[in-house]
Chain A
Amino acid sequence: MSNPKKAVIEARGLTRHYVQGGETIRALDGVDVTIHEGEFVAVMGPSGSGKSTFMNMCGALDRPTSGSIKVGGAELSGLDNDALAELRNRVIGFVFQQFNLLPRTSALHNVMLPLRYRGSLPADAEERCLKALDQVELAGRASHSPNELSGGQQQRVAIARALVNEPELILADEPTGALDSHTTEEVLKLFQRLNAAGMTIVMVTHDAEVAAYAGRCLYFRDGNIVEDTAAAKERAAS
């Protein structure tokens, strides 16, 4: 397969071992995968399969034991903590299952949080936040605090927060896990819209219905990818 687009995530022999109670846990055991710009990828697998560890790597929250992973072109194992923080700030937008919004803080200020850690707050910070809120169709709720918003709205505020720094990649960890089926659809359609506009999205889920919204699916088991629908298509095509 030839893909002219650049790789946002590029893992080669990616390995991560933990030592827990004297026992070595092989959370990731030599994963090779490339995720390109503009892809919408679902990461699936049972608990303990290594999908969360893979997400942590993609999110520059962790460094590999061995092997390599490049996020936005930067090799993680060569970066110190401050450089990782900078990478998370500029390249990655996080969306969490529990939304993780600051309580009693308006939607606008929640969205502004990543901008605050940019060194200095850009002059057009408020405009950018409103633009991000507009992308999730919540510009009218900018002054509302999380407890005045529904679950679906809170998750959309969190997505706006992920978008505000114009990242190369959105990482969503079970983004619909705390939502009902109606708002789940709403959020997933929003992801599809963002993806159609060129955003790369990687989403962890254990729900096959949710994964169906993505263009590609990675199945993890025992620290490795056991099925990659992109590779399967490639095989089918050949």
Chain B
Amino acid sequence: MTLLDTIKIALEALRLNALRTALAMLGIIIGVASVIAMASISAGASKQIEDVINNLGSNVLFARPGSSRMGGRMGGAGSSLPFTDGDVAAIKQQIPEVAAVSGESRSAGAVVYGNKNWLTSFQGVNAAFHDVRNWHVSTGNGRELTDDDIRRKGKVAVIGQTVARELFGDTSPLGERIRLKNVPFTVVGILDKKGQSGMGNDQDDTILVPLSTARMRLERSGGPVPNAVEIMLISVENGADMSVVQADIEDLLMKRRNVRPGAQPDFDVRNMAEFIATRTATQSTLGLLLAAAAAISLIVGGIGIMNIMLVSVTERTREIGLRMAVGARERDILVQFLVEATTLCLIGGIIGLIIGSIGAGLFAKLGNWPVLVDPMFVAIGIVGSAGVGLFFGFYPARRASRMNPIDALRFE
């Protein structure tokens, strides 16, 4: 008996009970579809994080006050004193490998244009922001912030794409007056589209103003230090050893903030890549959990297959008896039912694959989420469903093959 013949017999048996076959397959379809969708979505997320790293550049350091280390009685992040313009200048001047430093402070509030208003985040930045963040204003969309704007404390703003769309629609925002906390600013540029951050928030929903202006006009006055800077983004020259530069910056800041050498620093300097790596680890844990959930649904599907195969074996007892009487060996019967279970699962798997891919595609389209359908997942889906068929089909097939032909032939 050739394998092809056996598969034909299996398909025939499945066709004769179309409804039952469909119901039995449903578990496998759902299982494989969720495996494919989950794998594609979480692979897309990892891909996006990679993109973020590439986008920011792996040569960016991130400094903020307050330690994230959980030692002793340290306060939470941001509880210690902020940096200052002096720190920004010192890093730029004293560490030769540093290409640019962007001091930033952030706040949030409503922006008003005409009769429209929009709640967004304000970032007070230096001109270095555009280079460090690698986030520019394309020609035709106005200009970027300049050192001159910072010096003059100019009331100018560069707005993100989301803000531009929400406030101005199709009209050009350039040269228009917007009000932030009742202070009028002139829109001088529109940032390029950046999309979602690795954490899922819309990076284009922001407004850039000169850091000096922000300090004077947008933030409550009388902070603990003059010329405060909340965070610093530091880009390092290509080819420089990041960990050495990181240590140099830490030493410099320790000195400037009067922390004794060897003591716990009251600030935190981190490599952007490692910052993101932490989140990648979270993502992959999540992906693992989803994969486990999907695997469980495959197992449940497999139990459904086993159930249906047991029913089929019982129903076809006389057929099994006949086959044995005309010369089928135990192995022939075993193979026949294994092929049947595997075919059932494979068809379910392929349908699941299609549904899963469509689902992932829809998710990508509607959720604006990066999705990656890897050919590897397709292979895993097919091999996995065939494996489920073999595993859960084995017991029913073995039961069929162990039947006593005499009893099987007389079965009513």
Residues in chain A within 8 A of chain B (CB atoms): 56, 59, 61-62, 81-82, 85-86, 88-90, 94, 96, 98, 100, 102, 104-105, 113-114, 116-118, 120-121, 161, 165
Is B327 a contact partner of A121 (Cβ separation < 8 A)?
A: no
A96-B322, A100-B319, A121-B2 known, 7 other contacts, Cβ within 8 Å: A81-B329, A85-B330, A88-B326, A90-B327, A100-B321, A100-B322, A100-B409
Is A82 a contact partner of B329 (Cβ separation < 8 A)?
A: yes
Is A85 a contact partner of B16 (Cβ separation < 8 A)?
A: no
Q: For A114, list chain B residues within 8 Å (CB).
A: 326-327
B298 lies within 8 A of chain A by Cβ: no
B292-332 with Cβ < 8 A to chain A = 318-319, 321-332
B327 interface neighbour in A88, A96, A98, Cβ under 8 Å: A88
B251 lies within 8 A of chain A by Cβ: no
Is B319 a contact partner of A102 (Cβ separation < 8 A)?
A: yes
Give the complex CA separation of A96 and B323 in angstroms: 13
Q: For B332, list chain A residues within 8 Å (CB).
A: 117
Q: For B322, list chain A residues within 8 Å (CB).
A: 96, 100, 102, 113
Residues A86 and B325 in contact in the complex (CB < 8 Å), given A102-B319, A104-B12, A117-B332? no
Give the complex CA separation of A89 and B327 in angstroms: 4
B5 lies within 8 A of chain A by Cβ: yes
Minimum Cβ distance to chain B for residue A57 (Å): 10
Give the complex CA separation of A94 and B323 in angstroms: 11
Q: For B324, list chain A residues within 8 Å (CB).
A: 61, 85, 88
B contact residues, total (Cβ < 8 Å)? 22
Give the complex CA separation of A165 and B323 in angstroms: 14
Give the complex CA separation of A62 and B410 in angstroms: 14
Q: For B1, list chain A residues within 8 Å (CB).
A: 116-117, 121
Give the complex CA separation of A104 and B16 in angstroms: 9
Highest count of chain B CB atoms <10 Å: which of A56, A85, A88, A113: A85
Q: For A81, list chain B residues within 8 Å (CB).
A: 329-330
Is B325 a contact partner of A61 (Cβ separation < 8 A)?
A: yes
Residues A85 and B406 in contact in the complex (CB < 8 Å), given A104-B16, A113-B323? no
Give the complex CA separation of A114 and B327 in angstroms: 6
Minimum Cβ distance to chain A for residue B403 (Å): 11
A161 interface neighbour in B326, B329, B405, Cβ under 8 Å: B326
Give the complex CA separation of A121 and B5 in angstroms: 10
Minimum Cβ distance to chain B for residue A65 (Å): 15
Minimum Cβ distance to chain B for residue A18 (Å): 11
Is B325 a contact partner of A94 (Cβ separation < 8 A)?
A: yes
Residues A85 and B2 in contact in the complex (CB < 8 Å), given A100-B322, A102-B319, A113-B323? no
Minimum Cβ distance to chain B for residue A23 (Å): 19
Is B406 a contact partner of A117 (Cβ separation < 8 A)?
A: no
Q: For B327, list chain A residues within 8 Å (CB).
A: 85-86, 88-90, 114, 117-118, 165
B315-364 with Cβ < 8 A to chain A = 318-319, 321-332
A89 interface neighbour in B12, B16, B326, Cβ under 8 Å: B326
Interface string of B399-410 (1 = CB under 8 A from A): 000000110010
Is B325 a contact partner of A88 (Cβ separation < 8 A)?
A: yes
Is B5 a contact partner of A116 (Cβ separation < 8 A)?
A: yes
Q: For B5, list chain A residues within 8 Å (CB).
A: 116, 121
Q: For A105, list chain B residues within 8 Å (CB).
A: 12
Give the complex CA separation of A62 and B12 in angstroms: 31
Give the complex CA separation of A118 and B318 in angstroms: 21
- Residue of A whose beta carbon sits closest to that of B2: A121
Residues A100 and B318 in contact in the complex (CB < 8 Å), given A61-B406, A117-B323, A121-B2? yes
Q: For B319, list chain A residues within 8 Å (CB).
A: 100, 102
Give the complex CA separation of A120 and B330 in angstroms: 17
Residues A117 and B329 in contact in the complex (CB < 8 Å), given A61-B405, A100-B318, A102-B319? yes
